[in-house]
Amino acid sequence: MDAGTLIENFAEFAKNKNIDRPTMIRILEDVFRTMIRRKFETDDNFDIIINADKGDLEIWRFREIVDDNSEDIWDYDKISLSDARRIEPDFEIGEEVAEEVKLEDFGRRAVMTARQTLIQKIKDLEKDNLFNRYKELVGEIILAEVYQILSKEVLLIDAEGNEVILPKPEQIHKDRYRKGESVRAIVHRVEMMNGNPRIILSRTSPVFLERLFESEVPEVYDGLITIKKVVREPGERAKVAVESYDDRIDPVGACVGMKGSRIHSIVRELQNENIDVINFTDNMDLYISRSLSPAKISSLKIDAEDKRVSVYLKPDQVSLAIGKGGQNIKLASKLVGFEIDVFRELDEYEEEDVVLEEFSDEIDAWVIDEFKKTGLDTAKSVLALSMDDLTRRTDLEEETIEDVIKILNQEFE
């Protein structure tokens, strides 16, 4: 393979990979200099001239002429007078010899290695460019097409034909994918694995919900409304705290839209995820109260040192505060940054009830805390529920719950 063919083939390959001309020339020169160093040990006294458009390559070696008996004759940048005169008979000592080195002089194997190296360098550069481009897109929404559905992940193709990955943990559990369909997700992270960029998408990240609000609510996109915090149980429930710096703008109303027009499209995208939009405030009492929406609290007590808050509600509000499977209270705790304990306010007819702390000599404190986390802070509130409800609402074993029920029943016998 001659120099022209090698350079033309490489230039065409680089062009197809969208590699710019200066980068292409730099890669060519790097590879040729590597060839020179392998053959001559150094490339310090070599000039390389490349014209990629015409496929031209010139390699020139420069050496100073010295006497045949000189001690410097073995230096890389010196040539004996007799050797110089074989190139040009009228050379004299002290002059500089410019000798052109042909690509063929390096041997067929070296040229083939150079060709493979050029192709590999372009592929490596392409990988680096992809990695760097997606690194800048972390946290942004992209649209990709499903092309393969595996048990642990879904493989997709972006607009430029690059493979991106949506792992199972980053999928909303209600999502169902079909080959060829378009999927929206955020770029969650980008990592190098065995020299190849691995682009991970997510639909469960709170950032995905935040970006959806930016795309559907112009005031959020323009910065008139700020999203202070997002917490999610993907596909089930989410809470979004918003704030407006313009008194004329109702941040909750703007995010929800007329008759829910703005938030409905977000809810559909998230497989009917129930989204509570809450007006952020620095008043922690009010913020906690809003975070437990739709429940209405009667009073609360904040322990700032232990980052806990005790919330008191009417009996009919307890289940609303806790929510299905404890989702509402878990999300509220994450949103405000406090562990929330729910307590029922006793009505007059419940005065004979006994708080669970009264049984601390018979029931372990951690067991009592498990019940209190779900709003069950009295004996009768526990006894009013079935074994299935108690097992579902707490993380306790059935045997432990049975022991507790036995102890509580003895109190009222």
Taken in order of first residue, the domains within the chain and their CATH numbers are: 3-132 (3.30.1480), 137-204 (2.40.50.140)
Better-predicted residue by pLDDT, 273 or 25: 273
Mean pLDDT over 50-71 rounds to 82
> To the nearest whole percent, how much of the chain has pLDDT over 70?
94
> To the nearest whole percent, how much of the chain has pLDDT over 90?
39
Confidence of residue 102 (pLDDT cuts 50, 70, 90): confident
pLDDT of amino acid 384: 83
Going by C-alpha positions, the residue among 256, 258, 247, 346 that lies closest to residue 293 is 256
pLDDT, tens digit (0-9, with 9 covering 90-100), for 345-391: 765 445 567 788 878 878 888 888 888 877 788 888 888 888 888 88
pLDDT of amino acid 349: 46
**pLDDT(20) > 80:** no
SS3 371: helix
pLDDT of amino acid 390: 84
Q: What is the mean pLDDT of the chain?
A: 87
pLDDT, tens digit (0-9, with 9 covering 90-100), for 31-49: 888 888 888 888 898 998 8
Mean pLDDT over 116-136 rounds to 87
Better-predicted residue by pLDDT, 349 or 303: 303
Confidence of residue 280 (pLDDT cuts 50, 70, 90): very high
User: d(Cα 118, Cα 124) in Å, to the nearest integer?
Assistant: 10
Burial of 310 (0-12, 13-18, 19+ CB in 10 A): middle
Going by C-alpha positions, the residue among 158, 161, 162, 155 that lies closest to residue 142 is 158
| DSSP strand pairing (237-244 vs 225-233) | antiparallel
Which two three-digit tokens encode residue 28?
A: 């060519």
pTM metric for this prediction: 0.69
Better-predicted residue by pLDDT, 331 or 397: 331
Peptide bond just before 218 cis, omega within 30 deg: no
Rounded to the nearest 5 degrees, what angle is found at the Cα of 15, between the Cα atoms of 129 and 147?
A: 60
Q: Which residues of 14-35 are buried (b: 16+ CB within 10 A; e: fewer)?
A: beeeebeeeebbebbeebbeeb
